[in-house]
């Protein structure tokens, strides 16, 4: 652990020096802020001197760094503490550290350029590795189509293949009906896995069900023969087309999922990574960087029957998509970009909206009236009246960056006092009860469920 924390300290030192030399100014932003919707739940802090009112701990410095740009700062950097009340996993903690930046008078290429040079410096000084730049760029649509993920691991193959046109109207009703309803049939080709047993295939079926897939079909070529649990539904013509399109050879196993595109991508994207681990196809000494760009601007919120922002409500739409934003919001692309390393999102950012009218239109699509938007984000919207430079930025998860550089499996090993899976600190025993007097001072009355 001491080595991990030393490396984290070194990265912070390199980060500050690099961005200082690039003309960035380090600015601290408030920890006690107004609650605004940014995706995850806020951690709330009651105000003693303002009874019934609450601060929110920052999920990110997003609004403050935009205000800095609006007020005339050129380049901002901060190693910022952030808080999100969300379910934990290996690369997520309730409190974490971001390397956060914002730049004025820039476009996507400017932000990408400075960050490629930054990562190149980090890996040279920490690992002694000269990483090649510029990094590959891939649109969100291409990443999903080829890898079933918006953070694909490029260290191995097994790309997804669309078989929908081959199986449209076929005898296998599950495939044919799925395609007729607008879904798809896609595959991955697993090299050298034709000898997988029935038991092993059943394990894979259970695996894809985690991602809401209803099942998994298989097709193997072993000793010149075809083996498949759907072989009786496949004509010679279909078999030939599947083998050709899947680029399947002797000893290979082709795995099929049929469902909505959302389910197919999630299931096969995860299965692709699972099979790579099982077959030891991943070179842990290799670093594959990728920019994923042109994300969707909006996605549909079934629960609230309206659009919601894929990133956050201050992300700028593509200029060419503004004309049809109200008519076809789900077709709108954003000026958003994620930096991905070996299947993990290192950081993400976007060019921000700098037009008061465009910001108003986006808020309206997200279900905010003009009055509601003013009540929540008035300090930002008021600043728009005085002219806003084009600006954009990016934030890294510092703990994730350290985890990947060291080849660790969890960010817990990069944090001195991490929380456990229940967001508790085993050492300090936080969270914990407080005195009634403290609650009274904050005008808080607990309403806990009765013990069984």
d(CA 82, CA 97): 6
406-430 average pLDDT score: 89
Beta bridge partners of 190: 253
Higher pLDDT, 375 or 323: 323
Query: Could you give the C-alpha distances from 236 to 218, 224, 228, 233, 243, in angstroms and in order?
Result: 16, 15, 13, 10, 11
Angle between helix 2-21 and helix 398-406 axes, rounded to 10 deg: 120
Nearest to 129 by CA among 298, 286, 271, 14: 286
* Greatest pairwise CA separation for the chain in angstroms: 79
d(CA 400, CA 402): 5
Nearest to 70 by CA among 292, 305, 393, 327: 393
309 Cα distance to chain centroid: 13
254 Cα distance to chain centroid: 28
Nearest to 124 by CA among 10, 2, 291: 10
pLDDT for the residue 188: 98
pLDDT exceeds 90 at position 449: no
pLDDT exceeds 70 at position 398: yes
Tokens found for residue 47 = 């105000």
pLDDT exceeds 60 at position 85: yes
pLDDT tens per residue, range 180-217:
999 999 999 999 999 999 999 999 999 999 999 999 99
pLDDT for the residue 369: 87
pLDDT for the residue 379: 77
Do residues 43 and 57 touch, judged by C-beta distance below 8 A?
Answer: yes
pLDDT tens per residue, range 115-124:
999 999 999 9
3-state secondary structure of 103: strand
d(CA 85, CA 26): 27
61-84 average pLDDT score: 92
Out of 12-16, 138-142, 394-398, 422-426, pick the least confident: 422-426
pLDDT tens per residue, range 160-178:
999 999 999 998 999 999 9
pLDDT for the residue 199: 95
d(CA 154, CA 135): 12
Q: Give the single-character DSSP code of 20.
A: H
pLDDT for the residue 422: 85
Residue owning tokens 């919707």:
37
**How many CA atoms within 13 Å lie on the side-chain side of 301?**
13
- Mean pLDDT: which of 156-160, 356-360, 380-384, 411-415 is highest? 156-160
pLDDT for the residue 452: 47
Calculated CA dihedral for residues 332, 338, 342, 344, nearest 10 degrees: -90
CA angle at 53 for the pair 49 and 58, rounded to the nearest 5°: 105
Nearest to 322 by CA among 368, 354, 355, 358: 358
Which distant-in-sequence residues (6+ apart) come within 8 Å of 203 by Cβ? Answer: none
pLDDT exceeds 70 at position 418: yes
CA angle at 329 for the pair 327 and 331, rounded to the nearest 5°: 105
What is the set of domains in the chain, with CATH numbers? 2-133+342-414 (3.30.930.10), 156-278 (3.30.1360.30)
Share the mean pLDDT of the chain: 93
pLDDT exceeds 90 at position 97: yes
pLDDT for the residue 62: 87
**How many CA atoms within 13 Å lie on the side-chain side of 19?**
23
pLDDT tens per residue, range 343-357:
999 999 999 999 988
d(CA 127, CA 7): 10
d(CA 441, CA 420): 30
pLDDT for the residue 40: 77
Give residue 447's pLDDT band: very low, low, confident or very high (50, 70, 90). confident
328-345 average pLDDT score: 96
> DSSP H helical segments within 50-107, as ranges?
62-70
Do residues 298 and 330 touch, judged by C-beta distance below 8 A?
Answer: yes
Higher pLDDT, 219 or 384: 219
């Amino acid at each position: 652990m001491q080595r991990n924390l030393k490396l984290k300290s070194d990265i912070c030192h390199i980060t500050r020096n690099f961005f200082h030399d690039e003309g960035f100014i380090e600015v601290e932003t408030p920890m006690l802020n107004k609650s605004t919707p940014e995706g995850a739940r806020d951690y709330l802090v009651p105000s003693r001197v303002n009874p019934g009112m609450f601060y929110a701990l920052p999920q990110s410095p997003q609004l403050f760094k935009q205000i800095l740009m609006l007020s005339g700062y050129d380049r901002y950097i901060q190693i910022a503490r952030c808080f999100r009340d969300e379910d934990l996993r290996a690369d997520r903690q309730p409190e974490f550290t971001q390397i956060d930046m914002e730049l004025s008078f820039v476009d996507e290429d400017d932000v990408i350029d400075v960050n490629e040079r930054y990562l190149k410096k980090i890996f040279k000084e920490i690992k002694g590795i000269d990483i090649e730049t510029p990094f590959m760029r891939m649109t969100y649509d291409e990443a999903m189509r080829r890898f079933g993920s918006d953070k694909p691991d490029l260290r191995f193959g097994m790309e997804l293949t669309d078989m929908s046109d081959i199986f449209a109207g076929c005898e296998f009703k599950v495939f044919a009906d799925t395609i007729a309803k607008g879904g798809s049939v896609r595959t991955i080709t697993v090299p050298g896995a034709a000898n997988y047993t029935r038991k092993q295939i059943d394990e894979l079926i259970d695996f894809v069900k985690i991602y809401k897939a209803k099942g998994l079909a298989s097709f193997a070529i072993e000793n010149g023969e075809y083996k498949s649990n759907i072989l009786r539904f496949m004509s010679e013509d279909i078999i030939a087309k599947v083998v050709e399109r899947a680029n399947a050879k002797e000893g290979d196993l082709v795995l099929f999922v049929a469902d909505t595109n959302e389910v197919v991508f999630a299931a096969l994207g995860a299965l692709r990574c699972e099979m790579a681990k099982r077959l030891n196809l991943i070179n842990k000494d290799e670093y594959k960087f990728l920019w994923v760009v042109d994300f969707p601007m909006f996605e549909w919120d079934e629960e609230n029957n309206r659009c919601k922002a894929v990133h956050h409500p201050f992300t700028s739409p593509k200029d060419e998509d503004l004309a049809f934003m109200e008519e076809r919001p789900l077709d709108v692309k954003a000026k958003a970009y994620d930096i991905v390393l070996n299947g993990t999102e290192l950081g993400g950012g976007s060019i921000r909206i700098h037009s008061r009218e465009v910001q108003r239109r986006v808020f309206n699509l997200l279900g905010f009236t003009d009055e509601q938007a003013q009540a929540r984000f008035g300090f930002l919207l008021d600043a728009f009246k005085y002219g806003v430079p084009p600006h954009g930025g990016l934030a890294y998860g510092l703990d994730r960056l350290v985890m990947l550089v060291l080849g660790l499996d969890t960010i817990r090993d990069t944090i001195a006092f991490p929380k456990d899976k229940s967001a508790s600190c085993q050492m300090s025993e936080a969270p914990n009860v407080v005195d009634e007097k403290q609650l009274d001072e904050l005008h808080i009355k607990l309403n806990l469920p009765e013990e069984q």
